[in-house]
Amino acid sequence: MLILGIDTSCDDTSASVVEDGTKIISNIISNQTEIHKKYGGIVPELASRRHIEMIWPVVDEALNVAKVNLEDLSGIAVCYGPGLIGSLLVGCSFTKAICYSKRIPLVAVNHLEGHIFSSFLEEPSPSFPFLSLIVSGGHTCLYRVDGSGKYRELGRTRDDAAGEAYDKVSKLLGLGYPGGPAIDKLAQDGNPDAINFPRAYLPESFDFSFSGLKTAVLNYLKTAGVNSELQTSNSKLINDIAASFQAAVIDVLVRKTEWAIKKERVKQVVLTGGVAANSELRQKMREMGKEREVEIFIPPVSLCTDNAAMIAAAGYHHLKAGDIAGLDLNPKAYLLL
């Protein structure tokens, strides 16, 4: 069963052909980082305009690399939310047009569900039930997954997502966009114990909160008299701030997951989303898994960030269950799983 996946949820235009929900035949991504870099973040209007320019070339390349035609497809899966509404509109409109003209089944996939199923695109893959921690620029949430379509939310961020906090702190430090890779790189040469930034453990729930941590970094910079030019004159302090901030984020993510493991009594955890590309988070999560005797599944970095392969993987299960979307499908900027 060949599924063409299409994802335009944010600033990456992506198309992928996946066989039986597990084997990637092609996975093409057009990145917009250079467009948005000078603005310090994603500009929604520019993102949607670029999607319009790139969606057909990206889909065409995905089909050519996979050596298949539209007529060979069992279905087309498209991400219909959550995400930037203008970007989602491009992907949904394009996909509906192709499905209508070629009479191909249309499958609607939740972006978060796609992240969960990215773990099935590499071997070994998890088995149900498992916990899934999704950590990205727009989402930080923890789910119990008992099967395809069987998701129970255990917790989510009450304010900033972890990736959003990375980007905002990166801006405070004058490191530019995207913030995650920049902070991760600097943190490798810093002391994570140099500054005792707060941890919002929220022990009464599995929810997350990172806005207070972001504010703590801002207050520290003000108290220390630090400005955005500091990275050129005092790299050690910047490295220590980056490492201490990152340690606070990762500590909460790992600790909450550990609590959920104990409560839900599961032996497998999937870590995914853009922030799952962070080297320190990957290491700390594996160390925790070893201590708890729990299997930790983390997709390769290329499948942690937004991609259409994960949309196709999740779409396979929808199509197999006969869950076909109508041509009246509308994208949704805010969507729960």
SS3 content of the chain, % helix, strand, coil (to 5): 45, 20, 35
Rg (CA), the chain: 20
Residue ranges of E strands in the chain: 2-7, 13-19, 23-30, 75-81, 106-110, 130-135, 140-147, 150-156, 268-272, 295-297
Query: Is the torsion defined by CA of 102, 105, 109, 115 positive or negative?
Result: negative
Other C-beta atoms closer than 10 Å to the C-beta of 218 total 13
Greater confidence, 233 or 324?
324
SS3 195: coil
Which amino acid appears at position 15 of this protein? A
SS3 209: coil
pLDDT grade, residue 177 (50/70/90)? confident
pLDDT value at residue 232 = 45
Say how far apart CA 321 and CA 305 lie, in whole Å: 27
pLDDT grade, residue 225 (50/70/90)? confident
CATH code reported for the domain at 124-298: 3.30.420.40
CATH code reported for the domain at 2-117+303-320: 3.30.420.40
Per-residue model confidence as pLDDT tens digits over 128-163: 999 999 999 899 999 999 999 999 999 999 999 999
Q: What DSSP string runs through 93-124?
A: HHHHHHHHHHT--EEEEEHHHHHHHGGGSSSS
Say how far apart CA 35 and CA 15 lie, in whole Å: 20
CB 161 within 8 A of CB 137: yes
Q: What angle do CA 316, 322, 325 make, to 5 degrees?
A: 85
Say how far apart CA 182 and CA 238 lie, in whole Å: 11
Is the pLDDT at 230 greater than 60, yes or no? no
- Ordered by start, the domain boundaries in the chain are 2-117+303-320, 124-298
Residue ranges of E strands in 157-201: none
pLDDT grade, residue 233 (50/70/90)? low
